[in-house]
Homo-oligomer: A and B are copies of this chain.
């Protein structure tokens, strides 16, 4: 197929129309929550708060900034491993800036609406970043094969579906999922994989040569990996309850990720005939422990439980890269560019299951009476709450997320198959030059290390 990849009018019009619509909706609906409103000075007196520090800002701001780095530098640079797709990886990932605005509205209407206005504070910003994180995950599955216009359309729909799914899980099923194993990772991965399945390109081998990395592109990708890895404790604790829950979530995630590095390295070496390590595994599988811990992060999984989850995720994820990704492509016709199935899909499911198990064995010995009530929000409405029931709702949440992802992915995939979104032909996939002005390489690729090229200075 020959498509027109000149986006001169489609991309600008899409961006400007969306932004104008967002401004109008923000004008009608979005106001500051009390903690960000000048009336907070009075509120402090009314609520008898002893200090400005009680403003939600100080509880969550460091975590917010870390999450922000994960979304834009973490995901953006993780995808720069492709040799000729670095501009698109960080540049199109930057379009997540559209997603966070739309997420503020969608999540706002569903969760922060006071009947007239959406009242936003820092927690809304974190949740918007989380929501867009699931778009970044899905983007990994279709990386190199979609145009920025398609990405904007996918973002529009995925944010909408994410918000609905999240509402079902958190508000109706009342599941725990502070780090989003189910809502962010499993949902994002299976949504993206379904889209990739619909967009299957049988002749993608025509751009096979560009699907690999170069030495330096792999180093750029490690910037993404490390910022994701280091800040994941913030990701999983960012919207946990104040106090011990945030603290515990950070410790658990730290442990899980540390274990995951060891098993990823072990499996990567064991699966290579000469025992060599593969950058793909180090860049991705080392992060699976953070995904797998997303649901249980603030629960009483104990440090050794976190290690076990990380241990398992590192193994399963590396195995997935070696055996499952080729299988998905050849048998199921799912071309998963970044292997999100291994990093977000399976570990997300592991996380969901771990959450169901951990919740179902919650008890007063472990949490204390008040601690249990606080952790699961029992006092609110759930008089007949039991750990067992919580566990079953957790499992239900996982299934709902997967179902939403598959159904939504099919619909969005079909829309994206329409031939006028500026997608590249098979032989030009994974190539920045399709959508970017590329600099000419200097004639001499080597920098002149001698001063010969430099006019001699005065003596």
Q: Are A91 and B303 in contact (CB under 8 A)?
A: no
The 4 closest A-B pairs by CB, nearest first: A38-B371, A8-B275, A97-B261, A15-B266
A372 to chain B, nearest CB (A): 7
Stretch at the interface among A135-143, A220-228, A341-349: A220-228
**Residue A383 at the B interface, CB < 8 A?**
no
Q: A55-B246, A72-B230, A441-B447 are in contact. List 6 more A-B contacts (CB 8 A).
A: A27-B302, A38-B374, A97-B260, A101-B255, A148-B265, A433-B449
Q: Are B40 and A371 in contact (CB under 8 A)?
A: yes
**Residue A381 at the B interface, CB < 8 A?**
no
Q: Are A259 and B19 in contact (CB under 8 A)?
A: yes
A79 to chain B, nearest CB (A): 12
A449 neighbours in B (Cβ, 8 Å): 433, 438-441
Q: Are A35 and B247 in contact (CB under 8 A)?
A: yes
Complexed CA–CA distance, A451 and B263 (Å): 26
Q: Would you call the interface of chain A mostly helix, strand, loop, or mixed?
A: helix
Q: Are A442 and B83 in contact (CB under 8 A)?
A: yes
A302 to chain B, nearest CB (A): 7
Complexed CA–CA distance, A275 and B433 (Å): 12
Q: Are B54 and A51 in contact (CB under 8 A)?
A: yes
Stretch at the interface among A61-69, A192-200, A409-417: A61-69
Q: Are A274 and B8 in contact (CB under 8 A)?
A: yes
A109-122 Cβ-contact flags toward B at 8 Å (1 or 0): 00000000000111
**Residue A107 at the B interface, CB < 8 A?**
no
A454 to chain B, nearest CB (A): 5
Which residues 31-78 of A have a CB within 8 angstroms of B? 31-32, 35-42, 44, 50-59, 61-66, 68-69, 72-73, 76-77
Q: Are B65 and A258 in contact (CB under 8 A)?
A: no
**Residue A167 at the B interface, CB < 8 A?**
no
A265 neighbours in B (Cβ, 8 Å): 11-12, 15, 94-95, 148
A246 neighbours in B (Cβ, 8 Å): 55, 57
Q: Which of B8, B27, B227 contacts A304 (CB 8 A)?
A: B27
Q: Are A55 and B243 in contact (CB under 8 A)?
A: yes
**Residue A23 at the B interface, CB < 8 A?**
yes
Q: Are B425 and A455 in contact (CB under 8 A)?
A: yes
